[in-house]
Amino acid sequence: MRYLFKGGLVLDPKTRLEKEWDVRVAGGKITELGPHLEPEADGEELVDVSGKIVAPGFIDAHVHLREPGDEVHETIRTGCLAAVAGGFTAVCAMPNTLPCADNEAVIEYVIKRAKDAGLARVYPIGAITKGRQGKEIAEMGALYQAGAVAVSDDGNPVENSEVMRRALEYTQIFGIPVIAHCEDKGLSADGLMHEGAWATVLGLRGIPAQAEEAMVARDLLLAQLTGGRLHLAHLSTAGSVALLRFAREQGIKVTAEATPHHLLLTDEAVQGYDTNTKVNPPLRSKEDVQAIRAAVREGLIQCVASDHAPWAQEDKEQEYHRAPSGIAGLETAVPIVWDTLVVKEKMKPMELIARWTTGPAQVLNLDKGYLAVGIDADLTVIDPHLNKKVEAESFYSLGKNTPVNGRSFQGWPVLTVVEGKIVMRDGKVKEDIN
C-alpha cells in the first residue's frame, strides 16, 4: 500500500520537528518526509490531512486486554480495535489475566493473538511475582526472552519490601523497568473513593491519599537502594508528585504516568453513585488533579496512559461497593486529555504528543515514537478542532464503562496508520485489514 499524507502539520517530539510537511509511505515504511511532495502516478493514494496534526504513532503504556481468561470483558482483538479507534498504534498489555502473564507461554500467546488481529502492536508486560501473589519472583529472564517489555503486578502492590527489592535488582540484568502499583492495602482497606469531604457527604468509605504515597515513598527508597528502574503507574495525588520530584532531584531512576480520568475528574464526580467513576486509585481532590496536570505539562510525569479496564455491563451495574474498579479508556483518552490540557490549559501540542510517543518509548526501551525515513510507518493523525460527543455504545471495546458518555471533547484522532496500513479513518476501523 502506498500513501502520500499531504498538507498536515508534522510534529515529532524527538527531533522537535514542527513543519507543514508531507509524509510518503510505501511497503510499510516511511519513504519520504518533506515539503511539497508530488503525488506519484503508480497507484499511490493521496490523503489530504490539511488542518490536521501528523504525529508518530501513539503508544499506550497501560492497558488491560483481559485475554486469556476474561474474554467476556475484552479480547485481544477487540482491545486492538479500540486501540486503533482511539489513535493508538501500540499498547502495552498488563499481566493480570487468567492465567496471569507470569510465564513465557502467556507472553507468547498474547503476542500471537495480537499478530493475528493485525491492528495495533501489542507489547506484553510480565508479572513481577508468580501468580501476582507478591511472594516469589517470576522467571524474569524467560519473560524477557519471550517478549515482555517490563514487569508489574498491576492491580496488586508488591507488599513485601524484600521481594520488591529483588525485582528491582533482577530487572537490571535485562534493562527493563518495574512498573509499580502503589497502594498500601492496610490504608486503602475497604475504601471505595477518595477520603475527603465528598466521601463524607456520600457516605462511602474513603481511601486516603497516603495509601498511595506511602508505597510511592517505599518504592522510591528501594529504587535508590538498588539502582533499579522504577515506573510509577497511574499517579493520582499531589503528595506523589512531590515525592516524584524529590526522587528525580536525588538522581533516582524513576518515571511515572498519569491517566486521562485522573487529569479530568475529581471525587465530586462520584455523586450520583455512577459505578463508572469507581477506579483504583480513586478519583482525587481538585488540588490533586491540579498537581497531576501540572506534572504532565512540565514533563515530570512523562507518560499519559489510559489504564483501559473494560468490564461487562452487568459487572458495573451493581451497588457501588460491589462493582469492580475501572474505566474503558482507549477510545476517549486522546480527546479527554487534548481538550483538558491543550484546549483549556494551553499546553503545547508538541509536549502532549511527547507523553504518548517519546515518553513511553523511552520508559519501555521501544524503538518507536518518532518519525524518520526508513522506519515503520506508524502514524497518528489528530484533528485539533474536531469537537465530538462520546457515544459509549459505539465503542469497539466490549467495555462501555465510561464516566464521560455523552460529554463533548475537542481534539480527536481521525487517522491511525500501523506499519503503512490505514487501520482507522474518521473513527471507523477497517476490521478487514490484516
User: Active-site positions?
Assistant: 307
Question: Rounded mean pLDDT of 392-418?
Answer: 98
The region, left, alpha or beta by phi > 0 then psi within -120 to 50, assigned to residue 396 is alpha
**What does the pLDDT read at residue 431?**
67
Distance CA 96, CA 66 (A): 7
Q: How many CA atoms lie within 13 A of 376 on its CB side?
A: 16
Domains of the chain: 2-54+375-429 (2.30.40.10), 58-364 (3.20.20.140)
Predicted local distance difference test score (pLDDT) of residue 434 = 42
For 69, phi and psi rounded to 5 degrees? 110, -30
What is the residue type of 217? A
Mind listing the pLDDT tens digit for each residue in 210-222?
999 999 999 999 9
Residue in 317, 285, 164, 328 with CA at minimum distance from that of residue 230: 164
Q: Tens of pLDDT along 91-100?
A: 999 999 999 9
Query: Angle formed by the axes of helices 76-85 and 104-117, to 10°?
Result: 50
Q: What is the pLDDT of residues 67-87, one digit of tens each?
A: 999 999 999 999 999 999 999
The 10s digit of each residue's pLDDT in 44-63 is 999 999 999 999 999 999 99
Q: Grid coordinates representing 379? A: 502514524
**Average pLDDT score over the chain:** 97
pLDDT digits (tens, 9 = 90+) for 340-377: 999 999 999 999 999 999 999 999 999 999 999 999 99
Q: Could you tell me which residue, 369 or 42, shows the higher pLDDT?
A: 369
Model confidence pLDDT, tens digit, residues 304-322: 999 999 999 999 999 999 9
Phi, psi torsion values for 427, nearest 5 degrees: 85, -10
Q: Give dist(CA 143, CA 124) in Å, integer.
A: 9
How does residue 395 score in pLDDT terms, banded at 50, 70 and 90?
Answer: very high
Please tell me the pTM assigned to this model: 0.97
pLDDT for the residue numbered 430: 82
Measured between alpha carbons, how far is 36 from 39 in angstroms, rounded to an integer? 9
pLDDT on residue 106 = 98
The distance from CA 96 to its chain's CA centroid, rounded to whole angstroms, is 15
The stretch 117-125 carries a mean pLDDT of 97
Give the model's pLDDT for residue 42: 82
For residue 41, pLDDT beyond 90: no
Q: What is the mean pLDDT of residues 22-35?
A: 97
pLDDT band at 433 (very low <50, low <70, confident <90, very high): very low
Give the torsion sign (CA, 142, 147, 153, 155). negative
Over 90: is that where the pLDDT of 107 sits? yes
